Structure 1
Amino acid sequence: MDLLTLGGLVVAFASVFLANWLGGGEVVLLLNLPSAIIVIVGSLGAALAQSTLFEAFSALRMLAWSLFPPIFDLEGNRRTIIHLAHKARRFSILALEGDVQDLNNDFAMRAMQMAVDGADPELLSERLHEEAERIRDQRGAHIGFLESIGGYAPTLGIMGSVLGLIQAMANLDSPEALGHGIAVAFVSTLYGQGFANLVIFPICRKLYRYADRELLNNQMFIDGIHGIAIGKHPQRLDLELSGYE
C-alpha cells in the first residue's frame, strides 16, 4: 500500500480543519452531508454522462493504483532480459520457450512468445511499440475520466452554495438562522474546491506517472526482446537498455 497517498490526503485535509480552528470557526460547520452529496455524487454523474460505462469502470479500477501501485522494476527486468540474451546466444532463441512464463508480465510474455515462435523481429518491434502506445493512450483516457470529475466538482460546489443560499433566504425573518444558513451554504464551495484540488487532481498526477512508467517498462521489454531476436550481443544490449530508468 502507498502510505504516501494516504498521508498526503490526511495532511491536506488537516490543514483545512486546522486553519478553520485557528480562525475561530466551528469544526461542525465544515461537516455537511448535503454539500458532500451534491459535489461528489453530482460530479461523478456529470462525468458518467460524458463517458462510456466501460471507461468509467476502467477508470475506477485504475484509481486503486493510487493506494496499491503497480510495480515496474526496470532494473530487475533489464537483468532478466540480459540473462535471457545470454541463454539465447549460447543455445538459440528456441531455448527460451520455457522461460516465457517467468517474465511475470503479460505484455512481455506475449512479446517473447511471438519472438520464440519466429515472428519477424522488425515487424514484431513495430507492432508492439504501437500497442504499447495504445495502452498508454487508454490509461490516459481513463485518468481523463477521473480528471473530469475534478473539473466538475468546483462548479457543483457553487451550485450547492446557491441552493444553500436559496434555503437561507427563506429565513429572513430569523437573523440567527439566516446567518447560520449562509455559513453552511458556502461549505459546498469549499467541498468543490477541496475535492478537486486536494483529492482528484493530485491522485491523477500520480496515476499519470505510473502510466508513463508502464510505457517505459513495455518499451524496454520490446527493445530487449527485439535485441534477443536479432542475436544482438548481450553486453551491447545491456548498454542500450541501461538508458531506461
Structure 2
Amino acid sequence: MDFVTLAGLLIAFSSVFLANWLGGGEVFLLLNLPSAIIVIVGSIGATLIQSSIQDAIRALALMKWSLFPPIYDFNSARSSINNLAHKARRLSLLALESDVNAINNPFSTRALQMAIDGTDPNILSDRLHDDAVRIHERRMKSVNFLESIGGYAPTLGIMGSVLGLIQAMANLDSPEALGHGIAVAFVSTLYGQGFANLVIFPIAKKLSTYVDKELLYHQLLIDGICGIAIGKHPYRLELELATYE
C-alpha cells in the first residue's frame, strides 16, 4: 500500500480543519451532507453524461493504483531479458518455450510467445508498439475521466452555494438563522474546491505518472524481446536497455 497517498490526503484535509479552528470557526459548519452530495454525486453525474459507464468502471479500477501502485522493476526485467538472450543465442529461440512467463508480465508473455512462434521481427515490433500505445491510451482515458470530475466539482460547488443562499433567503425575518444559513451555503464552494484540488487532481496526476511508467516498461520489453527475436548479441542488447529507468 502507498501510505504516501494516505498521508497526503490526511495532511491536506487536516490543514483545512486546522485553519478553520485557528480562525475561530466551528468544525460542524464544515460538515454538510447536502453539499457533499451535490459536489461529489453531481460531478460524477456530469462526467458520465460526456462518457459511458464503461469509462467510469475503468476509472474506478484504475483509482486503486493510488493506494496499491503497480510495480515495474526495470532492473529485474533487464536481467530476465539478458538471461533469455544468452539462452536463445546458446540454444535457439525455440528453447525459450519454457520461459514465456520468466518476466511475470502478461504483455511480455504474449510478446515472447509471438517471437517463439516465428512472427516476423518487423511485424512483431509494430504490433507490440501498437498494443502498448492502445493500453496507454485506454489508461489515459480513465485518467481524463477523473480529471473531468475535478473540472466539474468547483462549478457544482458554486451551484450548491447558490442553492444554499436561496434557502437562506427564506429566513430574512430571522437574522440569526439567515447568518447560519449563509455560512453553511458557502461550504459547498469549499467542498467543490477541496474535492477537486485536494483529492481528484492529485490522484489523477499520480495515476498519469504510473501510466507513463507502464508505457516505458512496455517499451523496454518490446526492445528486449524484439532484440532476442533478431538474434542481437546479449551484451549489445544489455547496453541498449541500460537507458531505461
TM-score range relative to shorter protein:
over 0.9
Instruction: Give the aligned partner of residue 176 of structure 2.
Output: 176
Equivalent-residue separation in structure 1 for 2:64 and 2:209 (angstroms): 14
Instruction: Give the aligned partner of residue 33 of structure 1.
Output: 33
Equivalent-residue separation in structure 2 for 1:54 and 1:159 (angstroms): 28
Q: What is the CA distance between 1:123 and its match in structure 2? A: 1.1
User: What is the TM-score with the length of structure 1 in the denominator?
Assistant: 0.99
Alignment of 1:215-234 (within 5 A): 215-234=215-234
Q: What is the CA distance between 1:95 and its match in structure 2? A: 0.5
Equivalent-residue separation in structure 1 for 2:192 and 2:54 (angstroms): 26
Equivalent-residue separation in structure 1 for 2:186 and 2:76 (angstroms): 52
Equivalent-residue separation in structure 1 for 2:137 and 2:215 (angstroms): 10
Q: Does 1:59 align with 2:59?
A: yes
Equivalent-residue separation in structure 1 for 2:41 and 2:181 (angstroms): 22
SS at match of 1:101: coil
Instruction: Give the aligned partner of residue 24 of structure 1.
Output: 24
Equivalent-residue separation in structure 2 for 1:200 and 1:59 (angstroms): 12
Equivalent-residue separation in structure 2 for 1:114 and 1:131 (angstroms): 13
Equivalent-residue separation in structure 1 for 2:230 and 2:152 (angstroms): 51
SS at match of 2:239: helix
Post-superposition Cα deviations, 1:157-199, rounded to whole Å, max 9, x if no partner, equal 0000000000000000000000000000000000000000000
Q: Which amino acid aligns with 2:239?
A: L
Instruction: Give the aligned partner of residue 159 of structure 1.
Output: 159
Alignment of 1:1-245 (within 5 A): 1-245=1-245
Q: What is the CA distance between 1:145 and its match in structure 2? A: 0.5
Q: Which amino acid aligns with 2:181?
A: G
SS at match of 2:172: coil
User: What is the TM-score with the length of structure 2 in the denominator?
Assistant: 0.99
**Any runs of at least 4 consecutive aligned residues in structure 1 with deviations exceeding 4 A, and if so which?**
none
CA contact (8 A) 2:146 2:200 kept: yes
Q: Which amino acid aligns with 1:114?
A: M
Q: Which amino acid aligns with 2:236?
A: R
Q: Which amino acid aligns with 1:155?
A: T
CA contact (8 A) 2:103 2:109 kept: yes
Equivalent-residue separation in structure 2 for 1:82 and 1:162 (angstroms): 63
Q: Which amino acid aligns with 1:31?
A: L
Post-superposition Cα deviations, 1:36-95, rounded to whole Å, max 9, x if no partner, equal 000000001111111111111011100111001111111111111001001111100100
Count residues with an aligned counterpart.
245
Q: What is the CA distance between 1:239 and its match in structure 2? A: 0.3
CA contact (8 A) 2:80 2:102 kept: no
Post-superposition Cα deviations, 1:104-153, rounded to whole Å, max 9, x if no partner, equal 11111000000000000111011111111111111111110011000000
Q: Which amino acid aligns with 2:195?
A: F
SS at match of 2:101: helix
**Identity over aligned pairs, percent:** 71
Post-superposition Cα deviations, 1:208-232, rounded to whole Å, max 9, x if no partner, equal 0000010001010000001001111
Q: Which amino acid aligns with 2:67?
A: L
Equivalent-residue separation in structure 2 for 1:104 and 1:51 (angstroms): 33
Structure 1 residues 96-105 or 165-174, which shifts more?
A: 96-105
Equivalent-residue separation in structure 1 for 2:243 and 2:102 (angstroms): 23
Q: What is the CA distance between 1:103 and its match in structure 2? A: 2.1
Q: Which amino acid aligns with 1:156?
A: L
